Amino acid sequence: ASLDQFGFLTRACLAALEAFTPFDTNVLYAVLHEAIYCDGPGAASDWAAHRVGLALARDPASPFAWLRPDFSLASSTAPLFFAGEMIFPFHFDTYPELMALADVARKLASYADWPALYDIRRLRDNAVPVYAASYVDDMYVDSLLARDTARLVRGVKVFETNVLHHSALRARPDEVMQQLFRLRDDVLD
């Protein structure tokens, strides 16, 4: 609304946007965000979002042009795209609560001796009922990757929807749990 009304993002609007990714109050989330996806030895996160964004930003018209050191929002006619939950190294230079953890974050980003993320054999041998929710239009988790992961788990039943989204378990837990209980009770077609 502030863009329509004033032509720029007001401080109030920016504060609301910042509240969507509260890295200052969720420091472990910020520090471990990329590391939790590293799968096996040789897999360092190495600031994956930043690396990919910079590679895409070589084109000045790229949605990630804002990562370029020479980018100026004032002189850009391109739309500004947000980066969702991505963590960038500069967050540890700009968020006060993260500054003290900058060295730890850099060490984790370069660490490459992670164990395998999943024990595939155990997932295939699973004997415990598993019920999961997956969101087709999830902006944070690729739905095809979610399906591939679910296929690894023996006996998993997945409620897949394009009506609910990534934060549905927090925002609409009654709806998510109702669907998961329907899976458990085998009443879905």
Q: What is the pLDDT of residue 168?
A: 95
| Residue 41 shares a structural domain with residue 127 | no
Residues 128 and 106 placed together within one structural domain of the fold: no
Q: Are residues 24 and 94 in the same domain?
A: yes
Degrees to nearest 5, angle at CA 23 with 18 and 29:
140
What's the whole-number mean pLDDT along residues 103-113?
A: 97
> Quick one: 104 and 170 in the same domain?
no
CB 86 within 8 A of CB 49: yes
Residue 105 and residue 16 in one domain: yes
Contact of 132 with 102, CB cutoff 8 Å = no
Whether 76 has a pLDDT exceeding 80, the answer reads: no
Looking at the structure, do residues 75 and 27 belong to the same domain, yes or no?
A: yes
CA dihedral sign, ordered 90, 92, 94, 99 = negative
Tell whether 20 and 105 lie within a shared domain: yes
Average model confidence (pLDDT) across the chain: 90
Q: What is the mean pLDDT of residues 67-86?
A: 75
Name the nearest CA neighbour of 109 among 30, 50, 34. 34
SS3 159: strand
Instruction: Give the pLDDT mean for 73-92.
Output: 78
Q: Is residue 115 part of a domain?
A: no
Which range marks the domain in which residue 150 is found? 120-185
Question: Of 110, 135, 152, which residue constitutes the final position of a domain?
Answer: 110
Domain boundary among 67, 92, 110: 110
Domain boundary, last residue among 52, 82, 110: 110
Query: Do 22 and 72 belong together in one domain?
Result: yes
pLDDT of 175 higher than 80: yes
Q: How many domains does the chain have?
A: 2
15 or 98: which carries more pLDDT confidence? 98
H-helix or E-strand spanning residue 180: helix 173-185
User: In terms of domains, do 19 and 63 share one?
Assistant: yes
Name the pLDDT band for 16 (thresholds 50, 70, 90). confident
Q: Does the pLDDT value for residue 130 go beyond 80? A: yes
Residue 51: pLDDT band (50, 70, 90) is: very high
Q: Is the separation of the CB atoms in 35 and 45 below 8 Å?
A: yes
